[in-house]
Amino acid sequence: MKHFFLILIFTFFNISNLSALNSIATHAIIYDYQTNEILYEKNAFEKTPPASTTKILTSYIVFDQIKKGNLKLNDKFRVSEKAYKKGGSSMFLEINSMVTVEDLLYGIIVQSGNDASIVVAENISGSERAFTDLMNEYATKIGMKNSNFVNSSGWPHPLHYSTMYDLAVLSKAIIRDFPDMYKMYSEKEFTYNNITQPNRNSLLELYEGTDGLKTGYVKDSGYGIVVSTLKKNRRIIIAVNGLESRKSRVIESERLLNWAFRNTKLETLFKKGEVVKKTDVWLGTKNQIDLIVGQDILTTLKSEQKDSIDTKIIYDKPIEAPILKNQEIGKIIIEIKDKDTLEFPLYAKDSIKKINPLFRVFSAIRYLIFGNINND
């Protein structure tokens, strides 16, 4: 017996016209984690230097290698001369020293160490150049469609770029795929080589519910950040770039988060297994069948949109037995003002067998005379 289940996957639904909002960032996105809806975007699909937010992908790869059993947190990597001499933000590694993968991850995530990023790249792939091939392979699998990486740290390069949308997709992936290791992103400081450095993501301290992710800065694109905040079981991800200062980065991030949580609400339209229609069965041992949704159907709404929801149930009538439990029967179409139409399969709640052949002719006559006796 085949079983069919709905897997809720939204590509994206842009509802940025929910209310007036204009970010001072050159590039911005507000992204709902549960539904993948874009609540607001400004040049979110335009390529821009990701700077140190690149390190989210670097840490994703390390997390995945640990999950697959190829690495352990207590494995040690050697620090090369290239890593030791790299400029910019640093974990202050000593040349030829042996450093655990766990410390290197904290150095990448908390201290934004360019040196730590190069060390993991070289030790995983043999060279940073080879590691970037792996980065681009992972980016494609994750769903980052307009990104290209030529180093592991985010060091400026004309061929090193990403988009706010891609960074939001990456951020969702690391939270979803590695919930335990992702907790590293919420660490507020880390000490290595007797040097304590605070997490550059000050929103961990300033904005309730924030548990990640990463800041970034390069001269060509200004200050940027990717932030994830969880409030009342709802997670919002924002990504911005092109701000003039660290202060404006914090203020703008807070403003976008406030807008998202105040102006939109996550709504469950139907719960998994909920009956949305009861309809007649033709030539079955039961006269009716319940049609259900296979998984929670979620969407993000403004208050005025709650009264504009219209649903349509589509299926071929009459439904003829035999019917298998979880067999796809039809679909539900949901229309909401100022949103793209949503469409999901409907499934049979139970199995129904065919009736005894001796009774089929009587059922056929009854149907022809009386039609749909249940007024479906």
Which residue of the set 23, 42, 52, 86 is catalytic? 52
- Annotation marks residue 52 as catalytic: yes
> How far is the C-alpha of 156 from the C-alpha of 119, rounded, in Å?
18
Q: How far is CA 324 from CA 192, 283, 293, 332, 364, in A?
A: 60, 14, 15, 19, 22
Q: Which amino acid is at 102?
A: E
Length of the chain: 376
Q: Which amino acid is at 288?
A: Q
Tokens of residue 189, six digits: 């400081």
Is the peptide bond prior to 318 cis by the omega test (within 30 degrees of 0)? yes
H or E stretch at 279: strand 275-282
Q: Residue 328 burial (CB < 10 Å; 0-12/13-18/19+)? A: middle
Q: Is 185 helix (H, G, I), strand (E, B) or coil?
A: helix
CA atoms within 13 A of residue 267's CA, in its CB half-sphere: 15
Which residue of the set 89, 112, 171, 221 is catalytic? 112
Which residue of the set 42, 55, 86, 349 is catalytic? 55
- Annotation marks residue 112 as catalytic: yes
> How far is the C-alpha of 265 from the C-alpha of 338, rounded, in Å?
15
Closest to 212 in 3D by CA, of 234, 232, 228, 235: 228
Catalogue the active-site residues: 52, 55, 112
